[in-house]
Amino acid sequence: MKIEIQNLGAIKQAKINLNKRLTVFCGPNNSGKTYTAFIIHALTKSGLKYFMSESGNTLVSDLIKNQSAVFEVEVDKIWDYRNNELKDIKESLDAIYGVSDEVVTTLFANFSITIEESKSEFAKNILQMNFENELKLNNVIVKIKKEKNTKSIQLSLQNKTVSKESIEMLSLFLNAKLYSLIGFYPFTSSHILPVERNSIYTFSKELSIQKQEFIERAQALGSKSNNRDPFHWLLRSSKRYPMPIRDGLEIAEDLFNYSKNKTEFYQFAEEIENELLQGKVTITKDGDVQFASNKAKSKKIPIHLTASIVKTLSSLIFYLKHIATKNELIIIDEPELNLHPNNQIYLTRIFAKLINKGFRLLISTHSDYIIRELNNLIMASSQNEETQKIAKKFGYQDDVKLPSDNVSAYLFNYKNDKARYVTVSPIQVDDTGFDVETIDETVEKLNDISEQLFYSIKYGVVENE
């Protein structure tokens, strides 16, 4: 899926190819990388949107009656659905960024987002789609399967009996799931970890959405003009935080129930715990996050007393243990946050393992260590015999190798100091990796200064003076 974004803050235009397994955003601060990541999250997050139609009711009836059903893809309807979703994003910028309508008008006037695909191309691509997925609602599981060269999607109900409440839920959400899977293929859903992740668990009790809604309602009841629809308060409160933070808070409010589920990617969370944290992140019955060091396993300390690395990685660990689903897009803003260079490198290898397990990953980074290690993983995937010997020597196993054709990178930057708008340019990725000029220039300048200072102290002369 290739998207084009226009007039997003300082970004005049950005064309992003999301078909790669790994997408890397680079560039100086305040260049729109996070703005763009938030939009991509809104576009790709779970497709359980409120969508109801008569065909949805008929489909559910067939599914309940026969334990299976067939959904026939109608290109026109899904094309219209996708365009409506893009329109909804444009109309929901206040909720996505947690700002007022006035700020939206100031920062995002004339914003637009499109998918670079004609209707005829979309129809052809539908035939090539091949995927398996599932819908889980109220303990009801529906398996979803589509094969190439067909417009039919096979549905199979995994439950022998289904409650009336679950039937109603399926009627509301099954079509939405199917439309989303087709309309935004290859994305099934996305999970975002913003830079605020290091404080969401620490302050989730104080920032509780339910508490905020209660306060707002109490304030409204005390006002003289309390004549609004009750849904007004839900919509109003949804703007208090940007969507990624709100998503994180919703999870933080229900950690104990989430923790009852164990994903097939649990071992990756354990690897992060063992290799980076040297301890375990656990959830109490009250939904509080605790950490126990391997050096003192019996002493569990609350998250707010832990080291910064624990605060930063706990949300990723919890996601991999209890939430992650295959083929999901993981979006991480500044994965290097609070990490020593050694840990940045190790985490980069774990990212590669996740990508090779079917995940998609989008990161925004300033870290030269992460970029260099990504380049090492790309080069290690070469079939060159000598390269393979070196890769083996330094411990690069097959599960961390990243072929260059699975990677895309973009530079967000102003053309010069006087430029008003950010240019988003694709960075060439080849079998040796990719270079980020803004980081390379900074490193080279720093090295040059260091060398001159060193030679002046050591020898009293400056090299190449």
pLDDT mean by block of 10 residues, the chain; 465 residues: 94 94 94 95 73 67 91 94 92 92 90 95 95 86 94 92 85 87 90 90 66 56 48 49 89 90 95 96 92 91 92 95 92 95 96 96 95 95 94 94 96 89 94 88 89 85 59
Looking at residue 56, its pLDDT comes to 65
Angle in degrees, CA 453, 455, 461, rounded to 5: 105
Write down the domain spans for the chain: 46-89+114-188, 190-324, 435-465
Positive or negative, the CA dihedral 445, 364, 113, 133 is positive
> Are residues 263 and 322 in contact, defined by beta-carbon separation less than 8 angstroms?
yes
Rounded CA gap, 237 and 210, in Å? 10
pTM of the predicted structure, to 2 decimals: 0.87
Residue 148, judged by CB atoms within 10 A of its CB (0-12, 13-18, 19+), counts as exposed
Rounded CA gap, 254 and 259, in Å? 9
Looking at residue 229, its pLDDT comes to 44
Looking at residue 232, its pLDDT comes to 44
Rounded CA gap, 24 and 412, in Å? 11
Paired tokens of 99: 């700002």
Looking at residue 343, its pLDDT comes to 96
3-state secondary structure of 317: helix
